[in-house]
Amino acid sequence: MNKRKLVVLAVGVLLPMAVNAGSASHGSDSHAAVADKVISHQRAALAKNTQGKGFGPQAPRDIDATAGKNARSFNAAPASTAMNLCNIHFHKNAEHKGGEFTTYAGNGDGHGYLSGYMYNGKLSAAEMKPVHGEICPGKHGALSPGDTIEVHYVHSSAKIKPGPTLVSCLSDAIKNPQLRVETQVYVLVNDDKALDFGMLARHGKKGGLYQALNIPSNTGSPVQYAGSTTGPGYNEKASPFQVSWSVRPKVARVSIKSVGKWCKGNVFKEDHAHGVRNLVKNTDLLSKIK
Q: Is the pLDDT of residue 190 over 70?
A: yes
* Cα-only R_g, the chain: 18
pLDDT tens string 45-73: 999 999 999 999 999 999 999 999 999 99
DSSP string across 80-105: GGGSEEEEEEEEEBBSSBBTTB-EE-
Q: Is the pLDDT of residue 18 over 80?
A: no
Confidence of residue 33 (pLDDT cuts 50, 70, 90): low
Rounded mean pLDDT, 195-206: 98
Task: Judge whether 156 and 177 are in contact, CB under 8 Å.
Answer: yes
Rounded mean pLDDT, 76-99: 95
Task: Judge whether 76 and 224 are in contact, CB under 8 Å.
Answer: yes
Q: What is the pLDDT of residue 17?
A: 30
pLDDT tens string 231-270: 888 999 999 999 999 999 999 999 999 999 999 999 999 9
Task: Judge whether 177 and 169 are in contact, CB under 8 Å.
Answer: yes
Task: Judge whether 186 and 201 are in contact, CB under 8 Å.
Answer: no
Nearest to 144 by CA among 157, 155, 135: 135
pTM of the full structure: 0.87
CA distance 80 to 211: 8
CB atoms within 10 A of CB 37: 11
Confidence of residue 275 (pLDDT cuts 50, 70, 90): confident
